[in-house]
Structures are given as C-alpha cells and as structure tokens.
Structure 1
C-alpha cells in the first residue's frame, strides 16, 4: 500500500477516512454515474447535509436505519451520512421481498427504512407498508437535507457495531451479521492492497452496493483516491458504453461477471471489449480454473479472484503479480493480520476483518471456536506458499452470483405446494452464476404435471425473493435417502444432475 493510502487507512472510522480523503484531493472525481460526477470534496459536503437532514427526522447516534436501495450516487451519500451521525445501518439487497425484508426490519429493530419507491417494476414503498416498516422514506432521487452546523460531533470510535449485513447461511431465516467501521476498513484495505492500484485507475461497482462488497469497494476508493463508475442495473452489452466512455481499468464482481464479459468478448473476437481494462477482480463464488485462462487469453487483461463472505468481507485475494497457476487454482493469500487455520479440513479465521458475530447470541456462540476463530463451514487447504485452495463446503448453502441461498428455506416453501410430496434443493455448477438453484421433487399422489414456471410462481406467492428462485426443476419417482435417518443424499442428486 502506498504511503498516502497507509496514512488514510489508519483512520478510526469510515467518516474520518472520507474526511481525510476530501481534504487531500477535494477536486478528484469519486463517483461517476451516467452524466453525473461527484468529487471527493462534494461527496463529503453533501453527505454532511444529508446527515443533518436525517437528524431532523430523528436519526441519532445508535439509531438503526435500514435501507434497500439500488447502486446509485444517492445510496452512497445516504450510507456516508449515516456513518457521519454514527447511526447503525442495515443494508438490504434490493431484490429481497416481503419475507426477508420483514425479518431484517424486525430482527434489527430498525427505526427508519429508506426505499427507492417503485424500482424496476416493484413498489418498495407498498411492500414497506405491507410488512409494517417504521419511518419509511423514499431516497432515490432526493435525500433529506439540512444545515451541517446543527450536527453533533462525528463518532470517534471505529470499534462500535454500526453495520448489520444479512446472509442466509444454512438456516431458513437470514442472519444479521454485526460489523464495525474497523472491520470494514480492514477488509477494504486488503482488497485495495492486493489489486496493486495506482492513482490512474478507474474502478466500477456493477453489483448491489448493499452487498458487503459495496463497503469493501468504498474503502478502496477512499484509500487510493480513485473514482468508480456506478451501475444501477448491470447488463451486457448495454453497460459497455459506460465502461468505454469512462475508461474503466478495473471491473468485475464475481464469477458471473467474468463469464458475462467473456461471452460478450466472444461476440467480437479480435477487438478488445473494453480497451482500457487491465484487470477483472472479484470473489463470492467458485471460479473454474479454465475460466481464468479463457479470460486472460481472450480479453487481454489480468484476472484476480478472492475469497470473502458477509462475516469477513476479505479473507484472501489474488494479486496481479501472482503466478498464473496460483491465480487459476487458488483464492489468493491472506493479508497481514488475517489468521487462517485448517481444522479437520474446515477453514477457520481470526483477524480484524472478522465480524463481531450475529444478532442472535446463540448463532454467535456456535460460529466461533474456543480460541476465537470463526468457523466458515468451508473446506480447504493452504499451499506451502500460503495460498488458499477451497475444496468444498460443510454448509448446505448455494452460492449464486455471490449471494448465499438457503436450500432449507426453499425446501420448506416447496413443501407447501399441493403437487409436491417431497423436495430437495441443491446447487449445481454453472459457468455464469457459479451455482444454479435446482429443485428436485417427488410428485404428490394424484398430482398433475409439474413445470418450473408454476413452481416458481408458487414460491413467489409465498414471499420468496426473486434471486432465490430455482432455475431448474427435476421430478423423480423417489429421492435417494440414507438407511437409518432417511436423510436425503444430496451428493447423489448433485452427481446425477450435474
């Protein structure tokens, strides 16, 4: 990390990180979206005005404010304004629906809820009313505004829990993950250092800013003083004009993004898809080694992949100066301060980027071992050079486009379908998504033909979020089960349908 980034990285809070960056390079672009540009100085000043407007609405240090907003300049402003106040913020992924939203609001004891109104055909304001959300306000094009002179002093401690992120884990209900400014800064610092950024780089955020990766990326921008192009909705080829116009040098998000870029490149071989692009980077889902080699060969850029989770936003990261073998076949190395221990094949973690546990104390107690290491549920090994290789998962979860999906939750809802007697949900390898959701079901006696469209319609009606819907339906005479407890043998199903 360069000297400037290191000095900024010593800031105790996210707001202090922004304040130092705004003083150092106030006129440098920070956020780019469509034809809008916000400099670091403007980002600081406008966030203070939004903070004052939020205070006028009753938001105080420690107030829990949930927000479900797309990747927009206004979303980043709101998030930084809450950081200025010292509120506790609970980001909710925009495609979550009634079931998950209601649980997040209730479990976090949110006092306010910011929504985008009607966005991409879904009325978030109406949904907020249905689930009884408190203090609802729309924050899409306009934000609360006030006089910064009315604000109390900013928080001076980065070790208080001020972030609640949500992960499905292995249970039906989401788990609230408790983070501090310091843990998010630690994760973002790791990402920034591994990517070997320079002041000439231009990044991009094409994934939901409400994801833990949004905070990772924001820290990186503040450390290095580089801008990022924001994409409210990522789709190719439509997004390419913005990548090209702004001269993006660092792009990515997850395995699904690599595959989408590669597929588009193959439509125009011989011409670089994004001439300025030097690096694709991301994590959140398994990366097939062959995908790495295809991207490097056909797109003419580097690819670095990492390993992170909502509980630990950055665990390991590949670096452009790693060998091709390590970049293709490992998840990279951990940064200084991240301890990795392999216990009975399971990856366990301890370090500053690790969360402060969950909202549920019982979940926290189960997640950490007696020495304070987080049990990830992932299986892996370390190479002699310190690179991490993941080999599987203990948890029965599906990672689709970097998002954890609980098989148990979908199975419970499938069992409410009148035509389904038994159901098992598995993740199958998918080049674009990392994994796709496959529902394997037994028909109920006398039931008619089961088709995917009818099953997904039923799940939507039961409140399942769109991103959790099965993409594949398989109907079998009988699910394979063990002889003693009659537990479904999912590994047999994965072998059968892969």
Structure 2
C-alpha cells in the first residue's frame, strides 16, 4: 500500500476519508456512468448539499434510513450524504421483495425509506406504501435528491466506531439477520481489498454488482484510498456491457465466480480477440472458485485472477494478490491483512479484527456468533497453509451461495411447506460451474397430492414475495426424504451426494 493510501486508511470515518481524498485530487473522476462523470470533489460537494436537504426533512445523527436503490450515481450521493450526517444506514438489495423488505423495515425501525420508484418492472414505491414504510423518498434520478445549504449542517461525525450501518444476511435462518457495522469496520475491509490488489491511480475499476451489497463500501474505500475511478453498471449482462468496459478502458473487473465464468464465455466466443483489451485483472469473492476456472481464465483471457473470501459480517477476510503464485491463486482464498486474526477451531474458521462486525441487531444472535475470546464463528471450514494462505473446505452453515449471494435454505423451505402438494421439503445447493451453486428443492409429496412441477413451485414462491434470485432452478420430487433414525432429521448430505453431478 502506498504511503498516501496507508495514511488515508487511518481515517476515522468514511466522510473523513472522502474529505481527505477530495482535497488531494478534487478534479479526478471517481464514478462513471452513462456518459456522466462524478469527480471526488463533486462527490463531496454534492453529497453535502444532499445532506442539508435530508437534514431539512428531519434526518439527524442516529436516524435510521433504509434505502433500496440500484447501482447509480444518485445512490452514491445519498449514501455519502447520510454518512455526512452520521445517520444509521440500512441498505437493501434492489431485487428483494415484500417478504424480506417488510422484515428489514420492521426490525431496523427505519424512519425513512428511499426507493427508485418503478425499476425493472417493479413498483418499489407501491411496495413501500403497502408495507407501511415511513418517510418514503422516491429517488428516480438526481432531480429527486433533496437539496439544501450545507451551512445549516452540524459538524460531521467524528467517532468511526459507532454503529452506523445495518447490512442484511439470511445466514441459516428463515429471516434476514441485521449485521452491525461501523465506518471503521468498512474502511478496514476496503483497505484489505486495496492492499491485496495494489491498484494505481491509472487503473479504471468497475462495480457491476448491487451497490447495496457489502461489496459496495468495500470497493468504494479502495477508490478513495488510491484515487482512481470505477464504472457503475445498473444492470450487468454480457455481451451488452462490453461496450462500456471498452469505452472507459476498464483495467479491473469481476465481482464473483459467476462474473469470471461470463467473461470467459465471451472470450471463448471470440478467440484471439481480447474481450476488453485494457483488462489486466479479474477479482472478486463470494462463491467458491474452482481451480480449473482460474487456470482457464489466465490461459484463455491472458489476465490475472485474484479471488478472496468475505461475508456480510466481515467484508474482506482474505484476498489473493497478483503477486501470489498460480498455485496459491488457484487453490486458496489468499492471505489475511495485518490486523485480521484467523483461528481454526475444530476445522471452523474464526475471525477477530477491526473489519469484523459489532454483532447483530438481535443480541441473542450476537452471543451465539462470538466465542469467549471474541472471535466470530464463521461456520466455514478450512485451514491455513504454511505460508499463511487460507483454504476453505466446506461450510457448517446450511446456506447456498449463488452468484456470490447468500441464500437461506430454511427461508425457502418455510415458504414451500405451505404449498398444498408439499409434504416436506429440503432445499440444497448443488455445484454449478457458472453460478457457484444452484438452488435445488427436493420435495416429498403430500399424501394424495399430485406431483408439483418446477413452474408451479416457482410461481408459488413468487406469489409469496420471495426474491427472484432465490427461486429454485431445479426440482426433485421423491416419495420420502432420507432421515436419521433418532431425531428424524432430513439427511441433506445424502441428497447432495445423490444429486450432485446429475442432470436435472
């Protein structure tokens, strides 16, 4: 990490970090989208005006503000305006629907809720009204952002260790868990990413995943530390997005295993012609990265690939570096940064460090998640190599990671239990080369019921308000689920063994 980046990484708050970067390079771009350019200086100036407008609406330090917005410049402006005020932000992934959003609003006690209006065919404003959300703010474009005179604002927050972020993860429960973060924990996570990837001011990055994801602040911190821009993608699809990558000369791309596979597929469709001539590095995290995918990307695309390990509770735990060997990059999740302690207890990965969250909204969940020494129990299995790299070997948690997003099996199971044709159900993740894992529902027929189809099951779940990205992609119908002899628990490992590697 450069001396400047190292100094910036000690900033107390995210607003301090933006302010310091804006003073260093006010005219350099930080975000690019659809022909629009936002510089570091303009981001600071405009965010402060939005903060003044929010202040006039009643947003104060500690006010809980939920926002469910796509990856846009307006989203960035709003989140930094809230950071300037010291509000408590609770970002919500845009494709979540009534089931998840209603729980988030109730559990967080949000006093304001920012939505994009109608986005990709879904009326978010109507949903917000239906759920009884308070202080609904429709932010369709920049004209909808509140505006005011910064002279009315109180001093910026100075304590970066106060909880100002509530992110959401399904984990192993049927309802999302509110994960408590501070500005300092997010800065520490982004610093880990930056330290490993070692970007320069000449790089051009890209954010092709939801900005409301924990990866949003992770990546933004890296931009602020090193002073380079990123292209924002409201919706990512290939080959459609390639024109933007090429037009801006993107050098750093990725997001998760699914992104690597998509870029590789495009490369294979045009052998001998680089899909993005300026691209030098693919990087990301989320779903496990098969070693064969790493080798194929390096061999066929001619770029480096650095994969990492993070979660909503700890935005960046380990990260591969372009300086690592091919073997390390292909078979490990990289190394932890200075200050991240990793302890392996009975095969489980446990963590302690500044990037670790403060716990959960539910104190009982917090007590369960941390051991007596203050280490977070991740539920992931793994080991450290002699040279300090982390290898993950499995998960204790009953979750599915599809395209980098964590999906709770129990949430889907709870909803499917209400289907008239379902006697019992087990939802499992099956290996998938493009998505990391796919969602498979194994259904035990209800007595006297007919055989449900995948279309019927997904239509039922849609009607229940389940997010589209959580819908099963595969359905297996059985006469009886395999069960243990004592407590009659469903033996999911048998189902995984039975259906892994078989076609639908």
TM range (shorter): over 0.9
**Is 2:422 the partner of 1:420?**
yes
State the alpha-carbon separation in 1 of the partners of residues 407 and 459 from structure 2.
Answer: 18
CA RMSD of aligned residues (A): 0.6
Q: How does 1:39-118 map to 2 (within 5 A)?
A: 39-118=39-118
CA drift at 1:219? 0.4
Q: How does 1:183-332 map to 2 (within 5 A)?
A: 183-332=185-334
State the alpha-carbon separation in 1 of the partners of residues 498 and 345 from structure 2.
Answer: 30
CA drift at 1:401? 1.3
State the alpha-carbon separation in 2 of the partners of residues 286 and 133 from structure 1.
Answer: 37
State the alpha-carbon separation in 2 of the partners of residues 54 and 192 from structure 1.
Answer: 32
State the alpha-carbon separation in 2 of the partners of residues 152 and 401 from structure 1.
Answer: 41
Which residue in the other structure is 1:29 paired with?
Answer: 29
**Is 2:412 the partner of 1:410?**
yes
Q: How does 1:351-430 map to 2 (within 5 A)?
A: 351-430=353-432
Residues 343, 349 of structure 2: 8 Å contact kept = yes
Structure 2 residues without counterparts, runs of 5 or longer: none
TM-score, normalized by length of structure 1? Answer: 0.99
**Is 2:34 the partner of 1:15?**
no
CA drift at 1:181? 0.2
CA drift at 1:76? 0.5
Which residue in the other structure is 2:451 paired with?
Answer: 449
Which residue in the other structure is 2:161 paired with?
Answer: 159
CA drift at 1:449? 3.1
State the alpha-carbon separation in 2 of the partners of residues 267 and 117 from structure 1.
Answer: 37
Q: CA offsets, 1:254-305, max 9 Å, x none?
A: 0010011111111101110100000000001111000000000111100000
State the alpha-carbon separation in 2 of the partners of residues 212 and 494 from structure 1.
Answer: 29
State the alpha-carbon separation in 1 of the partners of residues 200 and 467 from structure 2.
Answer: 39
Q: How does 1:433-472 map to 2 (within 5 A)?
A: 433-472=435-474
TM-score, normalized by length of structure 2? Answer: 0.98
Specify the SS of the correspondent of 2:140.
Answer: coil
Residues 333, 392 of structure 2: 8 Å contact kept = yes
Q: CA offsets, 1:199-240, max 9 Å, x none?
A: 110000000000000000010000000000000000000000
Residues 258, 436 of structure 2: 8 Å contact kept = yes
Residues 451, 477 of structure 2: 8 Å contact kept = no
State the alpha-carbon separation in 2 of the partners of residues 213 and 464 from structure 1.
Answer: 23
Which residue in the other structure is 1:144 paired with?
Answer: 146
State the alpha-carbon separation in 1 of the partners of residues 346 and 442 from structure 2.
Answer: 31
State the alpha-carbon separation in 2 of the partners of residues 108 and 413 from structure 1.
Answer: 23
Which residue in the other structure is 1:474 paired with?
Answer: 476
State the alpha-carbon separation in 1 of the partners of residues 207 and 244 from structure 2.
Answer: 12
Could you list the runs of 4 or more consecutive aligned residues of structure 1 that deviate by over 3 angstroms after TM superposition? Answer: none
Aligned residues: 498
Comparing 421-430 with 445-454, which one deviates more in the overlay? Answer: 445-454
State the alpha-carbon separation in 1 of the partners of residues 276 and 455 from structure 2.
Answer: 37
State the alpha-carbon separation in 2 of the partners of residues 193 and 291 from structure 1.
Answer: 24
State the alpha-carbon separation in 2 of the partners of residues 436 and 132 from structure 1.
Answer: 34
Which residue in the other structure is 2:125 paired with?
Answer: 125
State the alpha-carbon separation in 2 of the partners of residues 172 and 18 from structure 1.
Answer: 37
Specify the SS of the correspondent of 1:183.
Answer: helix
State the alpha-carbon separation in 1 of the partners of residues 455 and 268 from structure 2.
Answer: 31
CA drift at 1:58? 0.4
Which residue in the other structure is 1:181 paired with?
Answer: 183
CA drift at 1:446? 2.5
Structure 1 residues without counterparts, runs of 5 or longer: none
Q: CA offsets, 1:15-47, max 9 Å, x none?
A: 000001001000001100010001111010000
Specify the SS of the correspondent of 1:266.
Answer: helix
CA drift at 1:448? 2.3
State the alpha-carbon separation in 2 of the partners of residues 28 and 87 from structure 1.
Answer: 27
